[in-house]
Structure 1
Amino acid sequence: MAKLKWGMIGGGEGSQIGPAHRLGSGLDGLFEFTAGALDHRPDAGRAYGQQLGLAADRAYGDWQEMLAGEKNRDDRIDLVTVATPNSTHFEITKRFLESGFHVLCEKPLTITVEEAEEIVTIAKNANRICAVNYGYSGYSLVRHMRAMVARGDLGKIRLVKAEFAHGHHADAADADNPRVRWRYDPAQAGVSAQFADCGIHALHMASFVLNQEVTRLSADTVSCIESRELEDDAMVNFRMDGGAVGRLWTSSIAIGRQHGLTLQVFGEKGGLRWAQEQPNQLYWMPLGERLQTIERGEAGLSPEADRSSRVTIGHAEGMPLAFANIYSDLSEAIHARKDNRPMDPAANLYPRAEDGLRSMAAIAAVAKSGKADGAWVDARPPMFR
């Protein structure tokens, strides 16, 4: 397959997420980094783009300049990744979709449910792909969990328990640290902090693995550091449309936890446990049998796991390789559209705008429930009710 042309907005020098996207997009040779507007400072963005190998006329000063420069080119980019501050996701994603580009947007897709519903509608009307970077769903053994659930290995799913808890914002002295402060500022972060930042990754993973959607939830939210307006810890109970019961804990004040993304699934015939910090092992306990360790890359796994496993068994795989699986899915989806053919089912796993919308609805529901002392509320987007 011919390489697709890829562009990036945000993710400049010093960015936490930018290198992971550049590594992930280039890992399989499916995308060529062709254009970028990498910094909110135009001159810095242009200079860094050229340092990374972009042609001078495609290292842009801002996203508006990039859109104007790319939309009428015969060799314009096929996919643009939006990795800018949360409050800018909606406008940038909307404008690029309306101009006929496929988009991969960092989470959260937008700031409000209404904006997310508009993005879903625009993408559908424009017949463009709009994906959301729930990158942890790219891990090989997470995809194998989904396959095991789908083929009935666990029987009917009774319970899913998800966690994304770390302790990196536990120091009250960081109250004025600009890299931390904005996350708890409603003007910049919206109605939620920790749940919107990390909790939705855990919630999406639960939905992804079970292939069930959250219908209602009850949340206990708290600001353990009292100066924060938004929550730094949340416990969420939820119910899913396939009958599963869900429990989710997310925190930024859990000292001793580093990353903390874990998922456990319990069915009638067995249980599964996976942790992002040890992504090469999946623990499987069939009912009445001994605990088994499934190793990434071993023989006999699902097509979804085989397709997304990149190095031989025993060698560690990490986040950029999980991102690479999202980009590989998107490459297959874009080529399938160009060739007017069905895409490989094992690649049809990238998170959609609809997933981003459901996350926004869950964020709004958690904020509403937290303010109402844990009252159960509808967690579905209005357009899906």
Structure 2
Amino acid sequence: MSKLNWGMIGGGEGSQIGPAHRLGAGLDGAFDFVAGALDHRADAGRDYGQRLGLVSDRAYGDWREMLAGETGRADRVDLVTVATPNATHFEITAEFLKAGFNVLCEKPMTMTVGEAEHIVGLARETGQICAVNYGYTGYALVRHMRAMVARGDLGKVRLVKAEFAHGHHADAADADNPRVRWRYDPAQAGVSAQFADCGIHALHMASFVTGQNVTTLSADCVSCIESRTLEDDAMVNFRMDGGTVGRLWTSSIAIGRQHGLTLQVFGEKGGLRWAQEQPNQLFWMPLGQRLQTIERGEGNLSPEADRASRVTVGHAEGMPLAFANIYSDLAEAIRAKKEGRPCDPAADLFPRAEDGLRSMAAVFGVAESGKADGQWVDARPPMFR
């Protein structure tokens, strides 16, 4: 089977996210990294691209040059990953969709709900795949949680509790550190800081696992470091369209927490608990029975978990492998589209533009509710009401 061509915008030298994408895209041999505009500095981007193995005429100086260069090629890229600063996501994603490219965009997909609705419309109009990198949904046992909920192991889901809390911005002395300061600056981050950065990962995971969407929410947002304009801690209560109640805590000042992404799901017939820092174990308590530990890679898991397990049982699983599962999903979806056949259901799990839109509506809902002392607000985007 021939490889698909892949290109990347952003993720240059020193980038936090670039290496994870390149590892993930290349892990299964489904994609060849053939094109990139990797840095906002044209010469630096071209140089780094060539050091990574790109030929000189496909190591571009900026995304516009890449769009023009790839559009006319018979071997143009099959997928473009957008891993640039948040405020640029909308324009780049929109232009590549309009030119007929499939896109994987880093979160947040856009900076406003209106922009996100526009991206959803473009994806539907052009028929191109537009995915959003909620990469933590690539973990095998997160997918197994989803499968357990879908097949009714928990019965009706009553409550979901999500957390994404760390302590890496807890030092008030970092107030002028440019790598931290921009996250709490409305001019650069938008209407929300911690919830938009981390909370939406936890919220999306709650929807991914339960198969339900958030309808209303109430938020308490605080800036524990008083010099910050935007929140560094938030508690969000929410309701979902299947009747499930949700609780979400996200924080950047929780000293002692490292990454802090966890999900618990409680149903009529049992409960599940998973933590991203210990991703190989899923804890399952059936009603009236003993606590069980489900190990990633063991036999008799769901097709979704089996497909997403890449190393033998007992060995560590990491974030690049979760990203690789998103890329594996996309490779299958792109090939299915090319071949005019249905996508493998176990691979049809990558987050869509619609997920990016719902997340952006939740960000603005949290900001609105936080300013109104926790008033309940409609968290659905206008086009889904």
Write the mapping of 1:63-78 to structure 2, written as runs, cut at 5 A.
63-78=63-78
DSSP 3-state at the match of 2:300: coil
Write the mapping of 1:110-125 to structure 2, written as runs, cut at 5 A.
110-125=110-125
Deviations along 1:178-233, one digit per CA (max 9) or x if unpaired, are 11111101011100000000000000000000000000000000000111110000
Aligned to 2:362: 362
* TM-fit CA distance, 1:94: 0.3
Aligned to 1:270: 270
DSSP 3-state at the match of 2:283: strand
Aligned to 2:287: 287
Letter in 1 for 2:357: L
Aligned to 1:307: 307
Write the mapping of 1:33-182 to structure 2, written as runs, cut at 5 A.
33-182=33-182
Q: 2: distance between equivalents of 1:225 and 1:165?
A: 16
1:324 lines up with 2:324 in the alignment: yes
Q: 2: distance between equivalents of 1:80 and 1:178?
A: 29
Aligned to 2:17: 17
Q: 1: distance between equivalents of 2:202 and 2:7?
A: 28
Aligned to 1:335: 335
Deviations along 1:51-100, one digit per CA (max 9) or x if unpaired, are 00000000001001100110010110000000000000000000000000
Question: If the length of structure 1 is used for normalisation, what is the TM-score?
Answer: 1.00
Deviations along 1:6-59, one digit per CA (max 9) or x if unpaired, are 000000000000000000000000000000000011000000000000000000
**How much identity, in percent, do the aligned residues show?**
84
DSSP 3-state at the match of 2:330: helix
Q: 2: distance between equivalents of 1:278 and 1:200?
A: 20
Q: 2: distance between equivalents of 1:168 and 1:363?
A: 21
* TM-fit CA distance, 1:2: 1.4
What root-mean-square deviation, in Å, do the aligned CA atoms of Structure 1 and Structure 2 show? 0.3
Letter in 2 for 1:224: C
Q: 2: distance between equivalents of 1:240 and 1:279?
A: 26
Q: 1: distance between equivalents of 2:78 and 2:219?
A: 40
Q: 2: distance between equivalents of 1:246 and 1:2?
A: 44
Letter in 2 for 1:156: K
Letter in 1 for 2:288: G
Letter in 1 for 2:125: N
DSSP 3-state at the match of 2:279: coil
DSSP 3-state at the match of 2:341: coil
DSSP 3-state at the match of 1:311: coil
1:298 lines up with 2:298 in the alignment: yes
Number of residue pairs matched by the alignment:
385
DSSP 3-state at the match of 2:227: coil
DSSP 3-state at the match of 2:259: coil
DSSP 3-state at the match of 2:282: strand
* TM-fit CA distance, 1:313: 0.2
DSSP 3-state at the match of 1:164: strand
DSSP 3-state at the match of 1:254: coil
Aligned to 2:246: 246
Q: 2: distance between equivalents of 1:124 and 1:71?
A: 20
DSSP 3-state at the match of 1:207: helix
Q: 2: distance between equivalents of 1:225 and 1:92?
A: 34
* TM-fit CA distance, 1:342: 0.4
Q: 2: distance between equivalents of 1:8 and 1:301?
A: 34
Aligned to 1:229: 229
Q: Which segments of 5 or more consecutive residues in structure 2 lack a partner in the other structure? A: none
Letter in 1 for 2:146: R
Deviations along 1:160-190, one digit per CA (max 9) or x if unpaired, are 0000000000011111111111110101110
Question: If the length of structure 2 is used for normalisation, what is the TM-score?
Answer: 1.00
Letter in 2 for 1:282: L
Aligned to 1:347: 347
Aligned to 1:30: 30
Aligned to 1:194: 194
DSSP 3-state at the match of 1:259: coil
Q: 2: distance between equivalents of 1:114 and 1:230?
A: 21
Aligned to 1:183: 183
DSSP 3-state at the match of 1:282: strand
* TM-fit CA distance, 1:281: 0.2
DSSP 3-state at the match of 2:219: strand
Letter in 2 for 1:152: G
Aligned to 1:218: 218
DSSP 3-state at the match of 2:121: helix
Letter in 2 for 1:197: D
Q: 1: distance between equivalents of 2:83 and 2:175?
A: 25
Q: 2: distance between equivalents of 1:5 and 1:177?
A: 38
Which 4+ residue blocks in structure 1 deviate beyond 2 angstroms? none
Letter in 2 for 1:126: T
Q: 1: distance between equivalents of 2:342 and 2:56?
A: 37
